Amino acid sequence: MAGFTFQHICMILVGSLLMYLAIAKNFEPNLLLAMGFGAILANIPMSSAIDQFVDGQEMEGALSLLFNAGVGNELFPLLIFIAVGAMCDFSPLISNPRMFVFGITAQAGIFITMGLAFYMGFSLKEAASIGIIGAADGPTAIYVANRFAKNLFAPISVAAYTYMAMVPIIQPPVIKLLTTKKERAMKMVYVEKPVSRRTLLLFPIAVTAVAGFIAPASVALIGFLMFGNLLRVSGVTDRLSQAAQNELANIVTILLGLAISRKMTGPEFVNPTTLLIIGMGLFAFVFDTVGGVLSAKALNIFLPDGKKFNPIVGAAGISAFPMASRVAQRLGQEADRDNYLLMHAVGANVAGQIGSVIAGGVLLAWLGG
C-alpha cells in the first residue's frame, strides 16, 4: 500500500460518485460510467492501468496507452465530432436562421469565465481552457485544454462532461430566475419550411469554409463535425452515417471515457485548484444560459408581436444537444400545456453546437493554439 494516500481514496470516491450519477440518475451514462470506473482503476495502489516503474523500467499502463493514442493527439474528440455531426439535423436551423443569434450569445459564459479565471491568477491560455467548459461541448473542451493547459486537463474534462449531463438541473432555476411565467408561456408559431437536398448538402460545406476563414484553427473541429453531417445528408452513405451514429459513437465514447480517467489520479486531481476550476465551470454554464435568455429578451424589444422569441429558446443555444432543447420544451409546457417550443429550441441548439466549436477555434487562433 506504499504511496496510497488520502488523495487516492478521494478519487476512488469520485469515481464511485460518477458511476452512481450514470446508473442511478442517468446523467450522461455512456461517458460517466467509463470515467468513473477508470478513475477507480487509476487509483488502486500499483495499478497496472497506469504507468508504473517495475525493476527500474517504465511499464505503460492500459489507460495511459489509450490517453496517448487518442486524447494526447486529439484523435478521439475529432472522431466524436464525426458522430455528433451525423446525429445533427440542421433543417430546423436552416429553415429559421434567426436561431444562429442564440448559437452565438449563449457562448457568453465562455468569455466571461475566461476573464474571471485570468483575473484570479491563471495564465491566459489556462483561463481560455477553463472558460471553454462553458461551451457545453466535451470534445471541444478536451481539444482546447489539451492544446493550452495539459496540467488542468483532468478537472476541465470532468467538469465539462458532468455539467453537460446536469443541464436539466442547472438550466431551469436560472431560466425561471430571469423570466416570468407569462414570458415562459409565450407561444412561437412554427411553420415547417421544406429544405432542399441541395441546401442540406451545401450547408456543411459552406459552414466549414466560412468558419475556416474566420478562425483557421477551427477547421479540424468544425470540419469533422460537418463531415459527419455530410454523411447524413448526402443520401449515398446511409451505411456510413448509421455507423458513425452508432458503432463509431459507442466505441469512441467508451475509449474516451477510459482515456480521460488516466488523468484522474489523486495527486493530479485532488487539490484546491481543481475545486476552483469545477466551480468556475458551473459559473460558465450559468452565464451561457443567462446570455441566451437576456439576448432573446433584448431582441424582443425591437420585434413586433408575433415575431418575438420565447426567452427559453435563447437558453437552448448552448451546445448540449439535445438536452437543452428538451429542457426548453419542458419548461414551456410547464408554463402552458399547449406551448410547443421543441422545434425552435432544436434550431437554437444545433446553432449552439456550431457556435461552441467556432468559439473554441477563435480561442485557438487568438492565443496561438
Tens of pLDDT along the chain (369 residues)?
A: 556 788 999 999 999 999 999 999 888 898 899 999 999 999 998 888 888 766 667 778 899 999 999 988 889 999 999 999 999 999 989 988 999 999 999 999 999 999 999 999 999 999 999 999 988 888 899 999 989 998 898 899 888 888 888 888 899 999 999 999 999 999 998 777 888 999 999 999 999 999 888 878 888 989 999 999 999 999 999 999 999 999 999 999 999 999 999 989 988 888 899 989 999 999 999 999 999 999 999 999 998 888 899 999 999 999 888 889 999 999 999 999 999 999 999 999 999 999 998 899 889 888 875
Q: How many domains does the chain have?
A: 1
Q: Which grid cell is 261? A: 480517467
Strand residues in the chain grouped as ranges (E): 52-54, 57-59
Asked if residue 329 belongs to a domain, the reply is: yes
Asked if residue 233 belongs to a domain, the reply is: yes
C-alpha–C-alpha distance, residues 130 and 128, integer Å:
5
Asked if residue 360 belongs to a domain, the reply is: yes
- Residue 311's pLDDT is 95
What crossing angle do the helices spanning 124-131 and 272-300 adopt, rounded to 10°? 60
Q: Return the half-sphere exposure (C-beta side, CA atoms, 13 A cut-off) of residue 202.
A: 6
- Residue 56's pLDDT is 66
Asked if residue 281 belongs to a domain, the reply is: yes
Report phi then psi at 72, rounded to 5: -60, -30
Asked if residue 296 belongs to a domain, the reply is: yes
C-alpha–C-alpha distance, residues 369 and 362, integer Å:
10
Report phi then psi at 328, rounded to 5: -60, -45
The answer to whether 325 and 342 have CB atoms below 8 angstroms apart is yes
pTM for this entry:
0.87
Q: 280 to each of 21, 44, 115, 129, 303, how far by Cα in Å?
A: 21, 29, 11, 11, 34
C-alpha–C-alpha distance, residues 50 and 118, integer Å:
32
Q: Return the half-sphere exposure (C-beta side, CA atoms, 13 A cut-off) of residue 75.
A: 12
Asked if residue 19 belongs to a domain, the reply is: no
- Residue 196's pLDDT is 92
Domain that holds residue 305: 88-257+269-367
Residue 266 CA, chain-centre distance (Å), reads: 25
- Residue 45's pLDDT is 87
C-alpha–C-alpha distance, residues 238 and 243, integer Å:
8
Asked if residue 1 belongs to a domain, the reply is: no
C-alpha–C-alpha distance, residues 305 and 300, integer Å:
9
Q: DSSP 3-state assignment of 360? A: helix
Asked if residue 346 belongs to a domain, the reply is: yes
- Residue 165's pLDDT is 81
Task: Provide the sign of the torsion angle of the four alpha carbons 118, 122, 128, 131, taken in this order.
Answer: negative
Q: Return the half-sphere exposure (C-beta side, CA atoms, 13 A cut-off) of residue 209.
A: 5
Q: 298 to each of 291, 301, 323, how far by Cα in Å?
A: 10, 6, 24
- Residue 85's pLDDT is 94
